[in-house]
Amino acid sequence: MDRTMTAPLAAAAGRPALGAGPLAFALLLALAGLGYLLFPDNLALLTRLIAIAFLVLSLDLVTGYCGVATLGHAALYGAGAYAAGIASARYGIEDPLAMTGIGLVGGALAGLVCGVVILRAHGLPQLVLSIALVYLFHEFANKASGWTGGSDGLSGVTTGPLFGRFEFDLYGHTAYLYAVGLLLLTLIVLRLLVRSPFGMLCRGIKEDPVRIQAMGASPKAALLKMYVISGAVAGIGGALNAISTQVVALDSLSFTQSAEALVMLVLGGTGSLFGALVGTVVFTLFEDFVSAANPFHWLTVVGLLLIATVLFAPKGLYGTAADWIARRRARP
């Protein structure tokens, strides 16, 4: 195999990653425990944060690692939420693990549908297709009010005890611990995925799809597989949101949700799982605290934060920190 053909894969594999080892997972677990201790009365916010983190992680898989332009990823998240919610409200399925699995399948199917449509185009047309799809999903959920509740949202979602023992209490303790466990397990699986030959192939497609095709691989097939995996991850987040709030609203399928997820990803840094987490945490907590302090002008402050990040940390907060640490380590 020609060295020039393997250059995209080598470049992708050789990038430095900050905190990608067990230490990062230990730090994440410590932060989750710290959040449990510091915010015992606001665990619902932290659980919602983790649910959104699944959406941002799924977006990073197709945008950060594959270079697919999309502003409609909330369609996958909302599909998982409605799949889990309908299974509970209409069919009486209350086991949280079963609801999570149903959400995963719903998100994966939505990812397959969206991937088949979006991957037929490139660049700006791809972006337009993704926006059209999220609006179509939103309108379908609105019109199918007999199943989804329409504009009033899907109510009647009930969640049974986890493993038959741990009730989902009013304070959100069980929901938060369940969310943390799901996040850690998903991160481990995704870390193995992006470091696998398939993950390297997807990075190579982002760098130079023509060379990858010349090597005998099918870029479109690989991207479609990643889109389905991304949908499964987003579906888990949607199901988690339905389990923790016991209601599914049309907002989970909104264009605003997709746009905010992209903002979080850019804020933390694309092409890095931990960057997606950093962006989600910073944006969500910053939005919550600033809106509580100044409910009339909080969007201005959030906008200034985003402008400062793009101007002074173009690789995102995590990506810029990773580069700085790498340069420090390279100094004699």
Q: Average pLDDT, whole number, for the chain?
A: 84
At 10 the pLDDT is: 43
Residue 168 scores a pLDDT above 90? no
Digit-coded pLDDT (tens) for 178-196: 999 899 999 999 999 999 9
Give me the half-sphere count of Cα atoms (radius 13 Å) on the Cβ side of residue 100.
19
The four Cα atoms 70, 62, 74, 283 give a dihedral, to 10 degrees, of: -90
Determine the Cα–Cα distance for residues 96 and 88; give it in Å rounded to an integer. 9
- Give residue for tokens 């920190």: 321
At 234 the pLDDT is: 95
Is the distance from CB of 85 to CB of 123 less than 8 angstroms?
no
Determine the Cα–Cα distance for residues 268 and 307; give it in Å rounded to an integer. 13
Residue 33 scores a pLDDT above 80? no
Digit-coded pLDDT (tens) for 129-149: 999 999 999 999 999 888 888
At 107 the pLDDT is: 95
- Residue 195, helix vs strand vs coil: coil
In the chain, what percentage of residues exceed pLDDT 90?
A: 33
- Give residue for tokens 């379908």: 140
CA 243 to chain centre: 17
Mean pLDDT is lowest, of 3-17, 73-87, 182-196, for 3-17
In the chain, what percentage of residues exceed pLDDT 70?
A: 90
Q: Write down the domain spans for the chain.
A: 3-12+19-254
Burial bucket for residue 48 (CB in 10 Å: 0-12, 13-18, 19+):
buried
Split at pLDDT 50, 70, 90, the class of 60 is very high
Q: Which amino acid is at 266?
A: V
Give me the half-sphere count of Cα atoms (radius 13 Å) on the Cβ side of residue 266.
17
18-34 burial, b at 16+ Cβ within 10 Å, e below that, comes to bbbeeebbeebeeebee
Residue 256 scores a pLDDT above 60? yes
| Highest mean pLDDT of the ranges 13-22, 260-269, 316-325 | 260-269
At 61 the pLDDT is: 93
Q: Which amino acid is at 32?
A: A
Helical ranges in 246-294 per DSSP H: 255-268, 273-293
Q: How far is CA 134 from CA 31, 74, 253, 265, in A?
A: 33, 7, 7, 18
Digit-coded pLDDT (tens) for 98-121: 999 999 999 999 999 999 999 988
Digit-coded pLDDT (tens) for 13-24: 444 444 446 666
Q: Which amino acid is at 261?
A: A
Split at pLDDT 50, 70, 90, the class of 332 is low
Digit-coded pLDDT (tens) for 287-319: 888 877 777 777 788 788 888 888 888 788 888
Is the distance from CB of 231 to CB of 57 less than 8 angstroms?
no
Residue 238 scores a pLDDT above 80? yes
Question: The tokens of 254 are what?
Answer: 């909104």
At 21 the pLDDT is: 60
Helical ranges in 119-151 per DSSP H: 124-143, 145-148
Is the distance from CB of 220 to CB of 213 less than 8 angstroms?
no
